[in-house]
Structure 1
């Protein structure tokens, strides 16, 4: 599958939208008129970004039903390769990749009704709109990041050098942007204006080709300097990501810290080598903020100290996930799945199934990682979600035909991996682009063909 972007001619559209967004912001102001309903001004207490929220922990902020079933489904008419985010106010947001028509949709959680939709030059290896506690969106686009109000109005556009991969609220005023070229900077959430200078985390890369290395971001190979969204500790303003400086023999794990003030400052706190390599999946932050977890190319899960980047432990899981693990309340990590929505290059010969993808649980104990259970009978198709009551939601291959295998959602017990409930999603076929859980325990499953299924 080719990288998820609108054709290059969309660059002109992006610039036109940027000018239009600035004009709208100046004319109408930047404050949403949406009733907050007691919502947080910062990151939504729901599934607010690619991997659940700033820590990339795949953690839902609610429990789910013991026997979730289909509430509604709808087709959006175009492929999707991102997770549906939610605002904690009853709305899901789903992006698609299309040549024409709307490609960002606001859907009511109760019945799937379209609140609004927009045509935007979206871009990135995982297209998910980051949402705050008032329903305002921050969307990765061709050449930058756009802000959209809760009513679907363009607010502002901030240029980036390269494709945005990290779009995360640090607090009510600051938004962290990191591109696939490793260029990090902080902007003001209300205006899009710079709140820090740029910091190149993968060395100085000539700006002649802003798409440099983008085809390799899904797999995290050498050609992509910074492939996955950073895990962010909002308490300390520190972000953790993998970066591969062009020409270097191996990638690095990098910690970058933001110091607010009249002149905000971004600086590298530490760097540590990753000689075993890494994948394009996001880095994941532990519950106590003391460890970050990274998947490597050899099929192992690694832990590093957030204090100084020192390696802590490594545990084999037996395969190479395409999506990040989810973190249960007790700190157990549940491995992610394999999906053909990640483009792995012209030499990758894979069908609708990307190979074995069991569900494996690893628990950090006594300074090491210990496998506590695994489900080799399941073929996980996307990211898992961990619930507040210690369960795991996964989408797996089930039934169907060889040409069009089906999809089931399993609710697993986090203690032993046993299936609590299994639901075959009707008419769901092909690859899965994402799974998320909102603050009411509703499960959103998005397939790569652009169908959204809501279970509750």
Structure 2
């Protein structure tokens, strides 16, 4: 992985064996950044792949409408998911392990590499999440690993499978749900289990049946791309911190289709899980994360056929459906005022939709702007990657759909996993073939 200034390399941490991690008898722990729990709920940064616990792909402060390209950074590897931005402005991306350096972290103001760590090859499938101290929590083959802002390992905890992008729970513990449907609650400080493991899909009992083999940690990840049944949980959950409810799209064992499932988390001396409700079987697969409305009353999914579906979070009832376009690749962005900006597939135009209760109402549609990446919202401002042969970052007014700024992405090709917005209103655009662009 090249580092343009200065020209030097760091020795990568050797990737760990998934088999060894799953077989580990206990937790591998290292020093944390303090003796007490980390406050993970402060403002600032784009903490995870979709910004926050609601997966909103938005931030409350209004975004800049007069941007200029500050730096570009070649990664030397493909990037399939959005990066995250810690409160200190540090940008962290999970990249294809072509250079033994799949976890790369960069200074927000310059793009200079902070550190480059090894992960299991499946770590590329999710985004690290940051806390207020800019510690990072990443999933990989058979484990969750936490590192500090300098890339030093804080702790490593074995799990069954590969965690989808981690989230935080109301008590500050880390939530890691793997593609196998194993729900883990881990202390953000030590990585130790903070609640009993919940298996949404039965896990093979090797003690009761010694001849039963556990699935390899990365098994089913290819199916996650299409939402198939061998990947019970394809994407990160959404968390309602106020209600302490976790929402996940789950393909149950033996089912013919997935469902949206609401899980109540009860913290305390004896933490526990209970199922609040499950929706009817979905018409088709969902590969993107569910998204909560700002008030938590609605949950939105985007299925592989390109339909956005709205659910009442009180009982899981489907309220309405809106067709975006064939194979819309990502979750909707939900603005602080509740306006939806869907992520369209190839050839889909940029638009805004309002949840009017029983129906979706189109606020505006820009037929001249073809999406080439998942959008982000900052207050009343929309950022979207648009174009076909030549890509640009287009800044749009959320209320009117009017273009207020257009900035070229020099040399960009392919599709962007999605725009992200940092704590100083910087806008970072990853392009799938392996470049970061930063605007201020």
Q: TM-score band, normalised by the shorter chain?
A: 0.7 to 0.9
> CA shift at 1:203, angstroms?
4.5
Instruction: Note if 1:435 corresponds to 2:419.
Output: yes
> CA shift at 1:387, angstroms?
0.9
Residue number in structure 2 paired with 1:451: 435
Matches within 5 A, 1:50-65: 50-65=49-64
> Structure 1 stretch 228-237 or stretch 112-121: which is displaced more?
112-121
Task: Report Cα offsets for 1:397-450 as digits up to 9, x if no partner.
Answer: 24xxxxxx3211111111132211111111222232332001211111111222
Task: Report Cα offsets for 1:61-89 as digits up to 9, x if no partner.
Answer: 43222121100111122221121211121
> CA shift at 1:228, angstroms?
1.2
Assess, with a 3 A threshold, how the Cα gap between structure 1 residues 316 and 45 changes in structure 2: closer, same or farther: same
Residue number in structure 2 paired with 1:227: 234
> Structure 1 stretch 49-58 or stretch 358-367: which is displaced more?
358-367
Task: Report Cα offsets for 1:31-68 as digits up to 9, x if no partner.
Answer: 259xxxxx953365321111111100101243222121
> CA shift at 1:15, angstroms?
4.1
Residue number in structure 2 paired with 1:351: none
Aligned partners of 1:125 and 1:291: how far apart in 2?
30
Residue number in structure 1 paired with 2:92: 93
Assess, with a 3 A threshold, how the Cα gap between structure 1 residues 190 and 273 changes in structure 2: closer, same or farther: same
Residue number in structure 1 paired with 2:151: 152
Task: Report Cα offsets for 1:211-235 as digits up to 9, x if no partner.
Answer: 3422121222333211111111112
Assess, with a 3 A threshold, how the Cα gap between structure 1 residues 95 and 406 changes in structure 2: closer, same or farther: same
> CA shift at 1:106, angstroms?
2.0
Q: Give aligned pairs, total.
A: 416
Residue number in structure 1 paired with 2:208: none
Residue number in structure 2 paired with 1:293: 300
Assess, with a 3 A threshold, how the Cα gap between structure 1 residues 68 and 274 changes in structure 2: closer, same or farther: farther
Of 264, 281, 284, 2:271 maps to: 264
Aligned partners of 1:380 and 1:277: how far apart in 2?
23
Contact 1:443 1:454 in 2 (8 A): yes
Aligned partners of 1:168 and 1:183: how far apart in 2?
14
Contact 1:18 1:157 in 2 (8 A): no
Residue number in structure 1 paired with 2:332: 325
Contact 1:81 1:434 in 2 (8 A): no
Aligned partners of 1:96 and 1:297: how far apart in 2?
24
Aligned partners of 1:17 and 1:70: how far apart in 2?
44
Residue number in structure 2 paired with 1:410: 394
Residue number in structure 2 paired with 1:31: 33
Aligned partners of 1:71 and 1:146: how far apart in 2?
31
TM-score normalised according to structure 1 size? 0.85
Structure 2, unmatched stretches of 5+, are 1-13, 205-212
Aligned partners of 2:149 and 2:279: how far apart in 1?
40
Matches within 5 A, 1:165-176: 165-171=164-170, 173-176=172-175
Of 352, 362, 366, 1:375 maps to: 366
> CA shift at 1:365, angstroms?
1.1
Aligned partners of 1:218 and 1:83: how far apart in 2?
15
Matches within 5 A, 1:420-431: 420-431=404-415
> CA shift at 1:239, angstroms?
0.9
Instruction: Note if 1:127 corresponds to 2:131.
Output: no
Aligned partners of 2:250 and 2:418: how far apart in 1?
24
Contact 2:261 2:277 in 1 (8 A): yes
Contact 1:81 1:126 in 2 (8 A): yes
Assess, with a 3 A threshold, how the Cα gap between structure 1 residues 269 and 23 changes in structure 2: closer, same or farther: closer
Task: Report Cα offsets for 1:16-35 as digits up to 9, x if no partner.
Answer: 8998x96661xxx31259xx
Contact 1:292 1:304 in 2 (8 A): yes
Task: Report SS of the residue matched to 1:81.
Answer: coil
Instruction: Note if 1:71 corresponds to 2:70.
Output: yes
> CA shift at 1:321, angstroms?
1.1
TM-score normalised according to structure 2 size? 0.88
Contact 1:284 1:324 in 2 (8 A): yes
Contact 2:27 2:157 in 1 (8 A): no
Structure 1, unmatched stretches of 5+, are 1-8, 34-38, 339-354, 399-404
Task: Report SS of the residue matched to 1:406.
Answer: coil
Contact 1:232 1:238 in 2 (8 A): yes
> CA shift at 1:118, angstroms?
1.6
Residue number in structure 1 paired with 2:348: 357
> CA shift at 1:11, angstroms?
5.2
Task: Report Cα offsets for 1:189-218 as digits up to 9, x if no partner.
Answer: 111111111222245567334434221212
Aligned partners of 1:407 and 1:17: how far apart in 2?
42
Aligned partners of 1:249 and 1:329: how far apart in 2?
36
Aligned-residue RMSD, C-alpha: 2.5
Task: Report SS of the residue matched to 2:230.
Answer: coil
Task: Report Cα offsets for 1:227-280 as digits up to 9, x if no partner.
Answer: 111111112221111111242122110011211112211222111123312320
Contact 1:49 1:130 in 2 (8 A): yes
> CA shift at 1:90, angstroms?
2.3
